[in-house]
Amino acid sequence: MDLSNIRRGPIVAALIIGAFVSIMNETLLNIAFPDLVNEFGVALTTVQWLSTAYMLVIGVLVPVTALLQQWFTTRQMFLTAMTLFLVGTVVCGAAPVFEVLLAGRIVQAVGTGLMLPVMMNTILIIYPPEQRGGAMGMIGLVIMFGPAIGPTLSGLIIDQLNWRWLFFCVIPLAAFSVIFAALYLKNVSTITRPKVDLLSILLSTVGFGGVVYGFSKAGEESWSEPVVGWCIGIGLLGLLLFVWRQLKMKEPMLDLRAFKYPMFSIATILLIVVIMTLFSTMALLPFFLQGALLYTVFKSGLIMLPGGVVNGIMSPIAGKLFDKFGPRWLVIPGLVLVSAATWTFSGITASAGAGYVIFLHIVMLIGISLVMMPTQTTGLNQLPPELYPHGTAILNTLQQVFGAIGMALFMSVLSSGQKSYLAESSNPQAPEEAVQSLVAGLQDAFTLGGIFAIAALVISFFLKRVRTAQEQAKSFH
């Protein structure tokens, strides 16, 4: 396909608007959980399904997108994704009962799951390797900025209006995204229509779904729940069979040969470790701000906002620097910042001020902005174009799966730290002891986050700039 005359600006704008709306939506609803418990008269564990189901659907759907992108055009995929997201948002906003709200949320998640890999794949196709960093940086701005402003925005909306406005406010943005994409988005992918293997789809769904659900459940409740062990066990078995089948097939649904490319493999491992560190902070900090410092939800959102904004601003800058200097000059310093911030968080106490938390959070997210997109772009750059849909699907899936694993792991470390502190306390019923036990649990969890960050730093020394398949072909001629 000849892409020499294609106008990239409108295509990227269409992708970014859609991505921003759907990704911000992931963190928009969490603050409203107490209101939903009261409104629908359901238990908090039931309401948490609004988050669990969202992650679950994305985790299950993303692996299938590699196949879908070879059957349907860029326009068909993106417009279907955003229309589903819009329909889901309308259903959620108008939901008369909890079951309808959950159904709308699942439809939203289907839209998001379809859209994320399409967006990354399109960037890889329309930009030459030497300009991809800047383009991926713009995507990074959206991917980080959306979740960062989600809690603050929802805190503000819930203070003034009710939870339904979390969806009503998104409807015009989603509708605009559909119209804009219909006008400006062009088809850039090549349709090959490979054979659809239903067994692969089934194994992928059971495998990724079981693992994400099992770890999500462990994070919400405890590891001793029988359902946790069963789900993770069945999920891992499904994944083993899925991998075995993909390696045997002539036209696999998810082509694992991407891992033959060393930089893609290193980048994948590095991203998994960084995602777990990032998710730990995103999950643990609100507990510290609300449980130890006793701030309101809205104030907690405001404290976490500057880090997200700085990260959003830094992502395109990091992308441009990546195009100029390659990954190592960004990723290694970035991980030094992440490690320093996480280790400092591990010594935090209930006397810490808001300014101190804001500073550490900003340092950490500047580090993350120097790591995420440069690492992702380095890994994908080494792949030949026919593996782009598979590479983006693999990275997006593993980030969802390990995000869930990270959440569960850090929540269980937090709760076991709390329990062991209270077990040694002379007066475990005292309110101040409850705060101190929370701080002790958080310190343990952040220490583990620090270990992950240092592991990522060690891995980053193996990352290097790659010559893409196209560049090698050019120099050969």
In sequence order, the 6+-apart residues with CB closer than 8 A to the CB of 288 are 348, 357, 438, 439, 442
Closest CA to 279 of 448, 42, 63: 448
Quote the CA–CA distance of 105 and 405 in Å, as a whole number: 21
Cα 128–Cα 134–Cα 135 angle in degrees, nearest 5:
70
CATH superfamily of 1-186: MFS general substrate transporter like domains (1.20.1250.20)
* Spatial contact of 243 and 256, defined as CB atoms under 8 Å apart: yes
DSSP single-letter state for residue 92: H
- Residue 132 corresponds to which tokens in the numbers above? 């991809």
Q: Dihedral through CA 421, CA 422, CA 425, CA 429, nearest 10?
A: 150
User: C-alpha angle 321/326/332, rounded to 5°?
Assistant: 90
In tens digits, the chain (477 residues) has pLDDT values of 555 667 778 878 888 888 888 877 777 777 777 778 888 888 777 787 787 788 788 878 878 887 888 788 888 888 999 999 999 999 999 999 999 999 999 999 999 888 888 888 888 788 887 777 888 888 777 777 777 777 778 778 877 888 888 899 889 988 988 888 888 777 777 777 778 788 888 998 898 888 888 887 776 667 778 888 899 999 999 999 999 998 888 888 888 889 999 999 999 999 998 888 877 677 788 778 878 888 877 787 788 888 888 888 888 888 888 888 888 899 999 999 999 999 998 888 888 888 999 999 999 989 988 998 889 888 888 899 888 888 888 888 888 788 778 877 887 888 888 888 888 878 878 888 888 888 998 899 899 999 999 999 999 999 888 765 555 555 434
Q: Residue 401 is encoded by which pair of tokens?
A: 């799966």
Count how many Cα atoms sit within 13 Å of the Cα of residue 261 in the half-sphere of its side chain: 26
H or E segment and range at residue 399? helix 388-424
Hey, how many other C-beta atoms are within 10 angstroms of the C-beta on 42? 17
Would 1-186 and 262-466 be classified into the same CATH topology? yes
For the whole model, what pTM was predicted?
0.81
Q: At what angle do helices 132-160 and 8-28 cross, to 10 degrees?
A: 40
Q: List alpha helices for 221-296, DSSP H.
A: 226-248, 262-287
Domain ranges of the chain: 1-186, 197-252, 262-466
* Helix (H), strand (E) counts: the chain: 18, 0
Query: How far apart are the two ends of the chain, measured CA to CA in Å?
Result: 21
Residues 6+ apart with CB under 8 A from 408: 215, 216, 217, 218, 219
Closest CA to 62 of 375, 379, 394: 394
At the fourth CATH level, which superfamily is domain 262-466?
A: MFS general substrate transporter like domains (1.20.1250.20)
* 383-to-4, 64, 468 alpha-carbon distances in Å: 21, 19, 7
